[in-house]
Amino acid sequence: MMHQQIEDEEIIERYVRNQLGAEERTAFEEHYFTCEECFEKLEAAERFIAGVCDAGSRGLLGHSVSEAASKPRWRAWMLPTLAASGFAAVVFAATTGWIYFFQIPKLRQQLSQASAGLHAQQEARAALEKQMALSQVEANIPLVMLQATRDAQASPNEAVLSSSAQHFLLWVEVPAGRFRNFSLQIDTADNRAVEKLQNLKRNSYGALAVSLPTRVLQPGEYRIRLTGQEPSPASLLGEYRIRVRRP
């Protein structure tokens, strides 16, 4: 929608008076959201209408002013100068309408956004506390972050498990995709099954965090395979190598 069409067809006036058809309204809204000039004119028109209507309902305007405001072909920026006796009342009413129709909704939106952000932070904190619950009863729990590799000659991920550690955490970054549930298969270097964890889900950080007892992995090298389980068919998503050492 072009500026000349908006001027010629009095689109702004008809928009605030709810006289546009659905297609015209949609086209104009798409335009003024990206046009600062039309957006400012629309705000001015709506503030003026709100102010005049409020002043009229309070009986603060004369009959001629109320009648002029109700004519269908008015232009907010071309209305005649109001009588001096009603000017102060119109300014007050327009200011009140601007606060009610524009400032208060903006404040409500900002409050809603702040509330949503706080809720997200609370959820992330709760998830982290749940994942790290073991650390409340065991200090310095080892954390092993696995990095996928396809190079058989590449160095494996190192996991140093102290003699006092009873558990350790495996952290696996999950690639984006269609899967909701995952499994981890842990095998020795000579392909003996050690542990299989199924029905794992991403945490709020988009990763898998798994707690295992240290007795599961004795010193040595292991292969860990990440598989997407659901929805089927299952698919291998990543393969990791890990070397467990004890000081």
For tokens 């080892």, the residue is 142
Give me the pLDDT at residue 167, please.
86
**Whether 217 contacts 161, CB under 8 Å:** yes
Distance CA 134, CA 149 (A): 29
How many of the other CB atoms lie within 10 Å of CB of 239? Answer: 15
Using only C-alpha atoms, the chain has a radius of gyration, in whole angstroms, of 33
How many of the other CB atoms lie within 10 Å of CB of 20? Answer: 18
Task: Give how far the C-alpha of residue 19 lies from the chain's centroid of Cα atoms, to the nearest Å.
Answer: 35
pTM for the structure as a whole: 0.42
Alpha-helical regions (H) of the chain: 3-8, 11-16, 22-32, 36-57, 63-69, 84-98, 104-131
Side chain identity at residue 80, one-letter code: P
What are the counts of helices (DSSP H) followed by strands (DSSP E) for the chain? 7, 8
Give me the pLDDT at residue 195, please.
93
Distance CA 35, CA 18 (A): 20
List, in order of start, the domains of the chain with CATH numbers.
Answer: 3-130 (no CATH), 138-245 (2.60.40.10)
Backbone angles phi, psi at 19, to 5 degrees: -110, 10
Give me the pLDDT at residue 180, please.
92
Beta partners for 197? Answer: 184
Distance CA 32, CA 34 (A): 5
**Whether 218 contacts 244, CB under 8 Å:** yes
**Whether 97 contacts 54, CB under 8 Å:** yes
Distance CA 16, CA 84 (A): 26
Distance CA 242, CA 222 (A): 5
Query: H-helix or E-strand containing 223?
Result: strand 220-230
pLDDT by position in tens, the chain (length 247): 677 787 888 887 888 788 888 888 888 777 767 777 877 787 777 777 776 676 666 665 554 444 544 444 444 444 444 444 455 555 566 666 666 666 677 777 777 777 776 777 777 677 666 665 544 455 667 888 887 666 566 778 888 888 788 888 888 888 888 899 999 999 998 999 999 999 999 998 888 998 888 888 889 999 999 999 999 899 998 888 889 988 7
Distance CA 138, CA 204 (A): 23
What is the DSSP annotation of 25-41? HHHHHHHHTT-HHHHHH
